[in-house]
A and B are shown apart, each in its own frame.
Chain A
């Protein structure tokens, strides 16, 4: 497994902090209330089910996912409990919409929120490192949290991703009792590349 030095670990956490901070301020602008964040947690696992995120494995979650590609690549995901997602959409719209119309808009709204949040995250990380990152179009999935990262119908892929780095930040909207989290998932090669860029960044910044 990968050993990060304390400084590398710190720098990656700080990068994610900057990214998620920017994302939180975007979300806060959209919902007009403060958004609280937890300190990012970095874990290395072989399977998603090994993380403690899968504590409630059968909970249904809504997730917006975007793959990213650049010097390092992976998947970024915004995840929240399905039962609160309509509430989130309601607070985004700020106007009273009948429930049916809300349900119609739910997926569209969540995708756009995910798009804004994940781009804010990735964009600010890219800006700090000075490396462009391409983001795919967002996609939406609703499923049990234990199968969050399963590729649709592709079992072969599993063997190619022996190590995943999971970066996890939780966010909370207290007024609406909504919480969710942002995940970054990268494989071994990308982790090494990110680590290399972080090293270069540290050298450039501190000599």
Chain B
């Protein structure tokens, strides 16, 4: 199975206010990926945004490429987002990794915290995604 990957190329230096970063979205919902991608690219032009529809694809993609941001859904066919998040944390100790999920149960939030990844509750909105990334950029 091939991972879905789309690369944005930058050309206009005006958009390089923040250095170009790379993002991997892992979500089995095409609709969810489409929204989050739109929210990121309208606020952080020129960032490279790749997509994977499940953990297997995501793990294949990170073999060839490092990411600054990894946003991972929890409930996916196959490996769930917490298990994937833990593996990704091991591979990328310095990356920003967040579980972006509709599952708001405290247990899931606690587990995310315990493996050192952030928790973002769905629905993704433009403000939520923009503010989260902006705060991470500010603290880097």
Contacts and interface: CB of A to CB of B under 8 A. Distances in A.
Interface of A: 22, 26-27, 29-30, 93, 95, 105, 108-109, 111-112, 115-116, 118-120, 123-124, 126-127, 132-133, 135, 137
Contacts of B102: 26, 115-116, 118-120, 123
A interface, over-half SS? helix
Given A116-B123, A135-B75, A108 B29 contact: yes
B7 interface: no
Interface stretch (B15-23, B59-67, B103-111): B103-111
Contacts of B105: 123, 126-127, 132-133
Interface residues of B, number: 20
A135 B108 CA distance: 12
Nearest to B125: A29
A199 B32 CA distance: 38
A127 B29 contact: no
Contacts of B35: 93
Given A112-B32, A115-B29, A135 B123 contact: no
Given A112-B32, A135-B75, 9 more contacts: A22-B104, A27-B123, A93-B35, A105-B30, A105-B31, A111-B31, A119-B103, A119-B104, A124-B104
Interface string B115-140: 00000001101000000000000000
